[in-house]
Chains A and B, each alone.
Chain A
Amino acid sequence: AQSVTQLGSHVSVSEGALVLLRCNYSSSVPPYLFWYVQYPNQGLQLLLKYTTGATLVKGINGFEAEFKKSETSFHLTKPSAHMSDAAEYFCAVSLYTSGTYKYIFGTGTRLKVLA
């Protein structure tokens, strides 16, 4: 079955430190890949996405992610964490199956930023 795995349900970093949130997918065909962020008591909003072309994708709020086909990964990074980055982050894939697209989400990683 197609799936998305996010390693680490909780990640803590110090303010100003590197943020690395991991995402791996399993698919026989490279999917379209997304990262979403969810702030408390809100819906999800798009951070960035990879569809085709350049494998390093830049998103909002200084985040970026690199698609590595050989590793089936799409890890999210930010060079310097800010307190406002504290939120839950979801990796998602869009897969074409049975004649339509379905979106599959990972289980999420809650990022805590320490002062």
Chain B
Amino acid sequence: NAGVTQTPKFQVLKTGQSMTLQCAQDMNHEYMSWYRQDPGMGLRLIHYSVGAGITDQGEVPNGYNVSRSTTEDFPLRLLSAAPSQTSVYFCASCWGGGGTYEQYFGPGTRLTVT
């Protein structure tokens, strides 16, 4: 199993550009989530999904969209990039609906917005 994969590993955007961060998992996990990691702030939840067709907002959803058309894929879209979105983004997946199960993390995408 590849686990959780994320592409790209690095990305530089100009302010106002849009892009999609890709996330895929091959473990048949129902629960998937996106986090951003900033120095001194830990991981903050952006959006999450408890199954195909079901998504919900986390702590910092503004400026980001998600969709979940399949169990495997959970892309994160930046609508109009801003310097405040410079961060490291992690996708994670989890068995079932979450709760007692641990999350499996991808290797991250390092995004810089200039």
> Chain A interface (Cβ within 8 Å of chain B)?
6, 9, 32, 34, 36, 41-46, 49, 51-52, 90, 94, 96, 100-108
Contact = CB atoms under 8 A, between A and B. Distances in A.
A34 B102 contact: yes
Nearest to A42: B107
Interface residues of B, number: 26
A46 B99 CA distance: 14
B41 interface: yes
A32 B101 CA distance: 9
Interface of B is mostly: strand
Q: Which 4 residue pairs of A and B lie closest in terms of their CB atoms, listed nearest first?
A: A43-B105, A101-B98, A107-B42, A105-B43
11 contacts: A32-B100, A41-B108, A42-B107, A43-B4, A43-B106, A45-B105, A49-B100, A102-B45, A105-B42, A105-B43, A107-B42
A106 B37 CA distance: 11
Contacts of B58: 102
Contact of B33 (A32, A36, A103): A103
